[in-house]
Amino acid sequence: MKKKKILSKELSETIFNNNQVIINKANDNLYFEIGDEITDDIAEAVSILMRRIYFNDPIWKTEIKNIDIHSIYPEKSLF
């Protein structure tokens, strides 16, 4: 998890934004802000989303391209 102050300085492009979830891209890294949680790991973000967001929310239809699969750590999905 990252602190919000550090993340806000790095932001460059917003990919998705609704009241509950914000996905930003900065320097080829994705940052997921879900409520008060912030992470740069997609597995961790999905596990948080599964607990907090309903199955019919538009976030589940959002396509994220050019993901570096080597930067995903499955152990972080045990949230």
* The residue type at 22: I
What is the per-residue DSSP string for 8-77?
A: HHH--EEEEE-SSEEEEEETTEEEEEETTEEES-HHHHHHHHHHHS-TTSGGGG----S--GGG--GGGG
pTM of the model: 0.75
- How far apart, in whole angstroms, are the C-alpha atoms of residue 24 and residue 7? 9
- How far apart, in whole angstroms, are the C-alpha atoms of residue 69 and residue 61? 20
Per-residue pLDDT of the chain (79 residues; tens, 9 = 90+): 555 555 555 557 889 999 889 999 888 888 999 988 999 888 899 899 998 888 898 989 988 888 888 878 787 777 5
What is the structure's pLDDT at 72? 81
